[in-house]
A and B are shown apart, each in its own frame.
Chain A
Amino acid sequence: MDLKVRVWRGKERGAFSTYEVRREESQTVLDVVVHIQRHLEPSLSYRYACRVGMCGSCAMTVNGVARWTCRTHVSKVVTGNALEIAPLPNFPVIKDLVTDMRDFFDKWARAKGQFKGTTTRHDDFARVEPTSKERRAASAGIECIGCGICHASCDVVTWRPNFLGPAALNRAWTLVNDVRDTQQGERLRAVAGDAGCHACHTQGSCTERCPKQLTPTAAIAGLKRLTAKAAVRGEL
Chain B
Amino acid sequence: MTTVATQAKLWYAMRISSMVLAVCVLVHIITVIYAVRGGLSAAEILGRTHGSWLFAAFYGVFVVACAVHVPIGLAAIASEWLGLRERTALVAAQIVGVAILLMGLRAVYGVVAG
Segment 1-28 of B: residues with Cβ below 8 Å from A: 3-12, 15
Provide the bound-state CA to CA distance between A44 and B12, in Å: 49
Residue on B nearest A201 in the bound complex, by CB = B76
Helix, strand, loop or mixed for chain B's interface? Answer: helix
Contact of A228 among B3, B11, B80 (CB under 8 A): B11
Contacts of B5 in A (CB 8 A): 192-193, 231, 234, 236
| Residue count of chain B within 8 Å CB distance of chain A | 16
Provide the bound-state CA to CA distance between A232 and B79, in Å: 24
Contact of A198 among B7, B79, B80, B81 (CB under 8 A): B7
- Known contacts being A228-B12, A231-B12, is A192 close to B80, with CB within 8 Å? no
Contacts of A193 in B (CB 8 A): 3-5, 7-8
Segment 180-236 of A: residues with Cβ below 8 Å from B: 189, 192-194, 196, 198-199, 224, 227-228, 230-232, 234, 236
| Cβ contact within 8 Å between A159 and B81 | yes
Residue on B nearest A196 in the bound complex, by CB = B4
| Cβ contact within 8 Å between A231 and B76 | no
| Cβ contact within 8 Å between A231 and B9 | yes
Residue on B nearest A234 in the bound complex, by CB = B5
Contacts of B86 in A (CB 8 A): 194
B104 → chain A closest CB, angstroms: 25
**Residues of B near any A CB (own CB < 8 A):** 3-12, 15, 76, 79-81, 86
Contacts of A198 in B (CB 8 A): 7-8, 10-11
A162 → chain B closest CB, angstroms: 11
Known: A198-B7, A228-B8. 13 other contacts (CB 8 A): A156-B80, A159-B80, A160-B80, A192-B5, A194-B79, A196-B4, A198-B10, A224-B11, A228-B11, A231-B6, A231-B9, A232-B12, A236-B4
| Cβ contact within 8 Å between A236 and B8 | yes
Provide the bound-state CA to CA distance between A156 and B79, in Å: 11
Contacts of A224 in B (CB 8 A): 11
Provide the bound-state CA to CA distance between A160 and B89, in Å: 14
A64 → chain B closest CB, angstroms: 22
Contacts of B79 in A (CB 8 A): 160, 194
| Cβ contact within 8 Å between B7 and A194 | yes
Contacts of A231 in B (CB 8 A): 4-6, 8-9, 12
| Cβ contact within 8 Å between B4 and A192 | yes
